């Protein structure tokens, strides 16, 4: 038997594109702004941001919200003791809301699933697993608070984390510094050590289930992975009618993809390896034209060594990733403890000779968005920045604090890049009220924005700027100071 989930309300962004003609680019800008704000612990609704940036009128937003309601967002019945404030997000099977737990007057994240499961068998298992997870109390797990059921609706209340999830950070920055990546991975490994003690498995580690609460990494959705019982009582991964796996197979271990029954912590270690791969290289470990071809590769082909994408990666981290991602679990690290000690050794190695690693951004305490100079400051303001994706400065980023930043090879430029293909004064980025414009300053090699050579162009957060082999991204980051710097 498989679940019949009720249809989830569409995302506001999708409706804004479809019904209000908001361009993908403007939407992306607002989503990025939302994530950058989350890093400072503030939450703004996407609708509000679209209005603030002038991409949507209030009247149109009301219409979209009405449509969202019509399509099911409030398919959620009253849940005793909780007042729902607004939707935080939605995944493949559930919607997550910010809610107030009235009795104790605190904000919680309320995950809500509406299932039609007449026998209640699958749901019973869901609740049983979730309850065992709730017993865990550990700083690297999102604390579970409460479970319950109202008719066909099942809810799961947990600690509310104001920060973004790792996927959102990766969408914004594409790849993270090696130090930052190891820092996140080590905190996940610490959480897995605790699971190991309790003889539990997560089963669904992936970037959307890793929340960043300031510098602390919180693993969520423990025990919420959805194995289901087949008719003969065997466990299987939750399948759609067509037999497709729900959720992303990107981080799924080969043994889970094979539907093996005796899944153990080594499946979580594989997923951790996949996430570390994604963080340091900016690439998914496997690609496929379809989920099936992706899984085929996962089963039969070794992963492309991370150093192929990122030659400067330390040998230690490259080894750690490859050993975590061994297809046969007996060839992987066998325990989370081993992984943690290896991960810590890699991090120590890097941080002890930080000076020789120009590419490193972030700090030992794990703040990804601040440049090293600002690591002790409390995040407050949001500022645009250029994040280098490739070239000698890959991984570094430079806040744009002036109304005009000149980028070029000459040392008098605000941002001096010593790569031969840069002209002395290559391009300028200028603020125009609330928008930003890039102008080529008559450079020899030209400058591309999102793959197109431009003379003058308005740029948006998330845009890629390219000068021959140097790629950078125009992003929004948290509180930094901008001085003349050299790369």
Q: Are 351 and 364 in contact (CB under 8 A)?
A: yes
Strand order in the sheet with 452-454: 397-399, 382-388, 470-478, 464-467, 447-449, 452-454
Picked from Mg ion, ligand ATP, none, the partner binding residue 457 (CB below 5 to 8 A depending on kind) is none
Residue window 215-234: x/- pattern of binding to ligand ATP, with contact defined by CB under 6 A:
-----xx-------------
Nearest Cα to 250, choosing from 211, 208, 212, 206? 206
Q: Give the span between the Cα atoms of 350 and 355, in whole angstroms.
A: 9
Residue window 216-245: x/- pattern of binding to Mg ion, with contact defined by CB under 5 A:
-----x------------------------
Buried b (16+ CB within 10 A) or exposed e, 362-379: bbbebbbbbbeebeeeeb
Nearest Cα to 71, choosing from 164, 138, 7, 165? 7
- Which of residues 142 and 449 has its CB atom nearest to ligand ATP in the complex? 142
- Which of residues 160 and 398 has its CB atom nearest to ligand ATP in the complex? 160
**Is residue 129 part of the contact set for Mg ion (CB under 5 A)?**
no
Q: Decide if 204 is catalytic.
A: yes
Picked from ligand ATP, Mg ion, none, the partner binding residue 447 (CB below 5 to 8 A depending on kind) is none
**Is residue 34 part of the contact set for ligand ATP (CB under 6 A)?**
no
Beta strand spans in 80-119 (E): 82-90, 95-101, 106-116
Q: Give the span between the Cα atoms of 216 and 238, in whole angstroms.
A: 31
Choose, from 204, 250, 268, 463, the residue flagged as catalytic.
204
- Which of residues 92 and 446 has its CB atom nearest to Mg ion in the complex? 92
CB of 12 to ligand ATP, least distance (A): 13
Stretch that binds ligand ATP, among 64-72, 82-90, 316-324, 356-364 (CB under 6 A): 82-90
**Is residue 113 part of the contact set for ligand ATP (CB under 6 A)?**
no
Stretch that binds ligand ATP, among 66-74, 207-215, 269-277, 366-374 (CB under 6 A): 207-215
Q: What are phi and psi of 73, to 5 degrees?
A: -60, -35
- Which of residues 61 and 93 has its CB atom nearest to ligand ATP in the complex? 93
**Is residue 109 part of the contact set for ligand ATP (CB under 6 A)?**
yes
Q: Give the span between the Cα atoms of 123 and 307, in whole angstroms.
A: 43
Pick out residues in 237-256 that bind ligand ATP (CB under 6 A): 247
Sign of CA dihedral 288, 177, 360, 399: positive
**Secondary structure class of 29 (helix, strand, coil):** helix
Q: State the angle between helix axes of 166-173 and 265-281 in degrees (0 to 180), rounded to the nearest 10.
A: 20
Nearest Cα to 473, choosing from 39, 29, 167? 29
Residue nearest to Mg ion (CB): 221
- Which of residues 195 and 225 has its CB atom nearest to ligand ATP in the complex? 225
**Is residue 114 part of the contact set for ligand ATP (CB under 6 A)?**
no
Stretch that binds ligand ATP, among 60-68, 156-164, 311-319, 451-459 (CB under 6 A): 156-164
Tell how many helices (H) and how many strands (E) occur in the chain: 13, 22
Among positions 160, 277, 333, 427, the unique one binding ligand ATP when judged by CB under 6 A: 160
**Is residue 10 part of the contact set for ligand ATP (CB under 6 A)?**
no
Picked from Mg ion, ligand ATP, none, the partner binding residue 89 (CB below 5 to 8 A depending on kind) is ligand ATP
Angle CA(396)–CA(401)–CA(403) in degrees, nearest 5?
A: 130
Catalytic residues: 204
| Contacts to ligand ATP by CB under 6 A | 88-94, 96, 109, 111, 142, 158-161, 165, 208-209, 211, 220-221, 247
| Contacts to Mg ion by CB under 5 A | 209, 221
């Amino acid at each position: 038997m498989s679940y019949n989930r009720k249809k989830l309300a569409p995302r506001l962004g999708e409706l804004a594109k479809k019904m209000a003609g908001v361009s993908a680019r403007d939407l992306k800008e607002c989503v990025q702004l939302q994530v950058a704000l989350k890093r400072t612990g503030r939450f703004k609704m996407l609708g509000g941001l679209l209005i603030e940036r002038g991409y949507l009128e209030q009247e149109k937003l009301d219409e979209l919200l009405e449509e969202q309601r019509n399509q099911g967002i409030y398919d959620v019945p009253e849940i005793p003791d909780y007042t729902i404030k607004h939707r935080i997000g939605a995944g493949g099977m559930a919607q997550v809301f910010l809610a107030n737990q009235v009795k104790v007057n605190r904000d919680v994240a309320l995950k809500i699933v509406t299932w039609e499961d007449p026998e209640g068998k699958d749901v019973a298992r869901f609740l049983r697993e979730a309850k065992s997870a709730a017993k865990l109390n550990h700083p690297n797990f999102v604390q579970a608070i409460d479970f319950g059921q109202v008719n066909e609706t099942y809810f799961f209340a947990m600690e509310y984390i104001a920060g973004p999830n790792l996927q959102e950070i990766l969408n914004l920055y594409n790849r993270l510094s090696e130090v930052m990546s190891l820092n996140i991975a080590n905190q996940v490994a610490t959480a897995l050590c605790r699971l190991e003690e309790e003889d539990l498995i997560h089963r669904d580690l992936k970037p959307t289930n890793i929340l960043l609460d300031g510098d602390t990494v919180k693993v969520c959705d423990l025990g919420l992975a959805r194995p289901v019982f087949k008719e003969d009582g065997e466990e299987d991964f939750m399948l759609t009618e067509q037999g497709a796996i729900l959720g992303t197979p990107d981080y799924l271990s080969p043994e889970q993809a094979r539907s093996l029954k005796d899944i153990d912590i080594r499946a979580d270690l594989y997923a951790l390896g996949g996430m570390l791969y994604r963080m340091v290289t900016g690439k998914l470990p496997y690609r496929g034209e379809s989920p099936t071809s992706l899984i085929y590769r996962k089963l039969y082909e070794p992963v492309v060594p991370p150093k192929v994408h990122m030659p400067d990666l330390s040998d230690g981290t490259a080894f750690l990733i490859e050993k975590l991602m061994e297809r046969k679990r007996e060839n992987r690290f066998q325990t989370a403890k081993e992984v943690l000690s290896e991960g810590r050794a890699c991090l120590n190695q890097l941080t002890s000779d930080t000076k020789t690693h120009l590419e490193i951004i972030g700090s030992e305490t794990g703040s990804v968005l601040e440049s090293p100079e600002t690591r002790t400051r409390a995040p407050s303001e949001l500022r645009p920045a250029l994040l280098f994706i490739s070239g000698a400065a890959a991984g570094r980023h430079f806040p744009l604090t002036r109304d005009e930043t000149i980028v070029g090879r000459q040392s008098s430029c605000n941002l001096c890049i010593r790569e031969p293909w840069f002209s002395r004064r290559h391009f300028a980025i200028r603020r125009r009220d609330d928008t930003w414009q890039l102008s080529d300053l008559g450079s020899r090699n030209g400058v591309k924005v999102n793959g197109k050579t431009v003379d003058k162009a308005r740029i948006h957060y998330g845009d890629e700027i390219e000068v021959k082999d140097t790629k950078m991204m125009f992003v929004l980051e948290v509180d930094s100071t901008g001085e003349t710097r050299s790369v």
